[in-house]
Amino acid sequence: MERQQLNKLVLIGFMGTGKSTVSMLLSDKLGWKRVDGDEEIERIEGRRISDIFACDGEAAFRKIETKVLEALLSDEEPAVIATGGGAVLSEYNRELMLKESYVVALKASPDKIIARVLSDTARPLLQGDAAERVYVLLEQRKNAYDFAHFTVDTTMMTADEVVAAINENW
């Protein structure tokens, strides 16, 4: 599909790269609605992401994540969609995103990510030594976000600057 015909912009990136904040500002700028995959999962399931992981495990969470992604991408309304950091781990999800949306990856340095996620203790994959977990997961996901149409390194940027950079390339 031609990029001009797309009415979905998907933000991907590791936890703490700024997807939620950027999605809010970007949706305002484009005049599109904003949806957050994780919030949608919690709304549909009626429970927290951490409870889904604790009760049903990560594999069950990933299945729900794919179903929600499919639903969000097949909706007719133009939308900026912020995904959870692991939504890119499935090849099916990656292909779906590339087919149905303009995919923007947000990156940040490990230090910046750790500073951002340490204030939020709800992430199930960062329990225990969160900083150590970030390094391990970053290594495991080294190239996981490279498939995006466009990538922004947010380490030294304000959210407004990130939005401007995306908007110029959109």
Q: Is 69 in the site for ligand S3P (CB under 6 A)?
A: no
* Binding flag, residue 123, ligand S3P (CB under 6 A): yes
Q: Which x/- pattern, by CB under 6 A, does the window 126-165 give for ligand S3P?
A: ----------------------------------------
Q: Which residue's CB atom is positioned nearest to ligand S3P?
A: 84
Taking a C-beta distance cutoff of 8 angstroms, is the pair 86, 138 a contact?
no
How many Cβ atoms from other residues are within 10 Å of residue 100's Cβ?
Answer: 19
In order of 22, 86, 140, 143, 165, the CA distances from 96 in angstroms are 22, 15, 22, 18, 24
18 lines the binding site for ligand S3P (CB under 6 A): no
Contact criterion met (CB below 8 Å) for 53 and 123 = no
- The residues, ordered by sequence, that sit 6+ positions from 157 with a Cβ below 8 Å of its Cβ are 165
Stretch that binds ligand S3P, among 2-10, 81-89, 103-111, 142-150 (CB under 6 A): 81-89
Decide if residue 94 touches ligand S3P (CB under 6 A): no
Q: What is the closest distance, in whole angstroms, from the C-beta atom of residue 162 to ligand S3P in the complex?
A: 16
Binding-site member from 116, 124, 133, 159 for ligand S3P (CB under 6 A): 124
**Sheet of 150-153, strand order:** 33-36, 79-82, 8-13, 102-107, 150-153
In the bound complex, what is the minimum distance in angstroms from residue 112's beta carbon to ligand S3P?
Answer: 14
Please give the C-alpha separations between residue 89 and each of 54, 131, 143, in angstroms, as whole numbers.
20, 21, 10
Query: What's the closest the beta carbon of residue 19 comes to ligand S3P, in angstroms?
Result: 6
Q: Binding residues for ligand S3P, per CB under 6 A?
A: 15, 19, 38, 49, 84-86, 123-125
